[in-house]
Amino acid sequence: MTTTQQKIKWRRLRACSACDMVSAIPVLRPGEHASCPRCGHVLARRYLHPVQRSIALAVTALLSLMIAIAFPFISMDTNGLDSQIALPQTAVTMLNVNQPLVALIVSATAIILPALYLIGVILMQANVLRTVPRAYSDVIARLFSRLHPWMMADVFMIAALVSLVKLTDIGEVQLGVSFWAYCVFALLLLMTTRSVDIDLLWLKLAGEPPPDTGIRCGVNAAEQHVAGCTTCGLLNTLPPAAKGSAYLCMRCGSTLYARKPNSLQFTLALLLTAAVLYIPANAYPMMITTSLGQSHSSTIIGGMIELWQHGSEPVAMIIFVASVLVPIIKMLILMLLLWLARHPGPLNAQQKTALYRITELIGRWSMVDVFVVAIMVALIQSGNLMSVLPGPAALAFCAVVITTMLAAMAFDPRLLWDTQGKPYDRA
């Protein structure tokens, strides 16, 4: 075998999850990354001492979360009435006021899922340092890509800041140790997720078999009857009759598809569901405030207007963008992409892919208003004197956020590059 043949045999190939083009990954040094030459999607990234770095960050983040749970989060003095809450009470109080689904969503996205992720990072990376990693590391690694969109510690912190502005109009607010610990936790969680080198991780866990020497770079994977695993990145050869059928990745066991089956239909169904739910989410009250026996209900738009009238224009704009503009923009973009997935349209595939990345980026930030309600409800509970309860719109809006996120996940961006195979669509 010649040197050239050996290089071809042992080269590491990846199919871009955004455009499906096959590329060869070069040897990467710490601080370098490899991107798809066609659409710019990052295929692999290297860090300095990634295993040790991830463990250190994850342990520190987990300790910060434990401190955030153990100590007071926010306290408030209203006309001599003192109240304070710990972080878990933002979910527990929602459960006490008969909003179990909202309580579950708040606790899962702000505390439970991030904690599970950090524990998984510590266990898995520790096993990578062992000579023989344990089998359950594969299971933990497969969960990484599934958990990322649902960890919303950063969104929760923005919501806490918005809540502070509202609370200062009611009484004197003090920030507890937990508040600052959670700020540190949110930052460390972000650093931890960015420090995990998935490509190197799977190489350490399960190695990498040599690819088929007949696979060509610069050509779509589907055209060569191969599919890239969205979990570990390995390029798998599929039988010619595999279109629309499910197969398992030979390395990590995840399900493989040349294209997501019924992607457009699922996306459309979820979008229509979100559009229907968006009506009660805005028509019904988001929050019901009782003061001296008198109740006042406020919708999302109404609450934004009240903030603006009280001189909190920046906060009002945050609520307007996160709770009104973002869901609408996301639904409109996804509807446009559904049409563009079947028709070339005026945009090239790179522009379409950029639109899809916007939907992935902005969707989770709509949870700001839900977190604000959870914090306000937990902190202000003084009976008829003063109390805050969640309105029926809280659950509806949670459902809007979740269904739009699921719609973006159901959509297969590779379809945008398949549209009629027009030359300008592949530029």
Q: What is the mean pLDDT of the chain?
A: 84
Helix (H, G, I), strand (E, B) or coil at 270: helix
Q: With cut-offs at 50, 70 and 90, classify the pLDDT of residue 133.
A: low
**CB distance 57 to 188 below 8 Å:** yes
pLDDT beyond 60 at 173: yes
**CB distance 404 to 327 below 8 Å:** yes
Degrees, nearest 5: CA angle 366-68-394: 30
Q: Is residue 417 part of a domain?
A: yes
* Helix intervals (H) in 341-427: 349-362, 368-379, 393-410, 415-418
Q: Is residue 214 part of a domain?
A: no
Q: Is residue 16 part of a domain?
A: no
Q: Output the furthest CA–CA distance in the chain (Å, rounded).
A: 87
pLDDT beyond 50 at 350: yes
Q: Is residue 99 part of a domain?
A: yes
pLDDT given at position 427:
37
Contacts of 358 (CB under 8 A, 6+ apart): 329, 333
Q: Is residue 253 part of a domain?
A: no
pLDDT given at position 68:
94
Task: Determine the structural domain holding residue 117 and report its residue range.
Answer: 50-200+262-426
End-to-end CA distance of the chain: 37
pLDDT given at position 384:
55
- Ordered DSSP codes for 231-262: TT--EEE--TT-TT--EE-TTT--EE-SS-TT
Beta strands in 62-130 (DSSP E): 72-78, 81-86
pLDDT digits (tens, 9 = 90+) for 256-268: 888 888 899 999 9
Domain count, the chain: 1
pLDDT digits (tens, 9 = 90+) for 183-225: 999 999 999 998 888 888 888 877 888 777 788 888 898 888 8
pLDDT given at position 6:
41
pLDDT given at position 3:
43
Q: Is residue 287 part of a domain?
A: yes
Helix (H, G, I), strand (E, B) or coil at 173: strand
pLDDT given at position 425:
40
**CB distance 195 to 407 below 8 Å:** no
Q: Which of 133-137, 299-303, 334-338, 350-354 has the lowest mean pLDDT?
A: 133-137
**CB distance 74 to 175 below 8 Å:** yes
pLDDT given at position 276:
95
pLDDT given at position 424:
38
pLDDT given at position 210:
79
Q: Is residue 347 part of a domain?
A: yes
pLDDT beyond 80 at 227: yes
Q: With cut-offs at 50, 70 and 90, classify the pLDDT of residue 324.
A: confident
Degrees, nearest 5: CA angle 374-109-354: 115
pLDDT digits (tens, 9 = 90+) for 19-77: 889 999 888 888 888 899 988 888 888 888 888 899 999 999 999 999 999 999 988 87
**CB distance 321 to 396 below 8 Å:** no
Helix (H, G, I), strand (E, B) or coil at 43: strand
pLDDT beyond 70 at 362: yes
Q: With cut-offs at 50, 70 and 90, classify the pLDDT of residue 80.
A: low
Q: Is residue 113 part of a domain?
A: yes
Under DSSP, the state recorded for 21 is B
Residue 292: closest CA among 78, 75, 74, 76: 78
**CB distance 408 to 148 below 8 Å:** no
Residue 309: closest CA among 163, 166, 157, 161: 166
Contacts of the segment 80-83: beta carbons below 8 A, 24+ positions apart? 81/171, 81/382, 81/385, 81/386, 83/379, 83/380, 83/381, 83/382
Residue 39: closest CA among 12, 19, 67: 19
pLDDT given at position 270:
96
pLDDT beyond 60 at 96: yes
**Tokens read off for 222:** 């589907």
For residues 322-350, average pLDDT: 88
pLDDT given at position 249:
86
Helix axes 136-147, 113-128, angle to 10 degrees: 140
| Identity of residue 56 | A
Under DSSP, the state recorded for 220 is B
For residues 152-157, average pLDDT: 92
pLDDT digits (tens, 9 = 90+) for 366-409: 898 899 888 888 887 765 566 788 888 899 999 999 999 999 99
Contacts of 18 (CB under 8 A, 6+ apart): 36, 39, 41, 353, 356, 357, 413, 414
For residues 99-110, average pLDDT: 92
For 409-421, b/e burial (b = at least 16 CB within 10 A) is bbbbbbbbbbbee
pLDDT digits (tens, 9 = 90+) for 248-257: 888 888 888 8
pLDDT given at position 2:
44
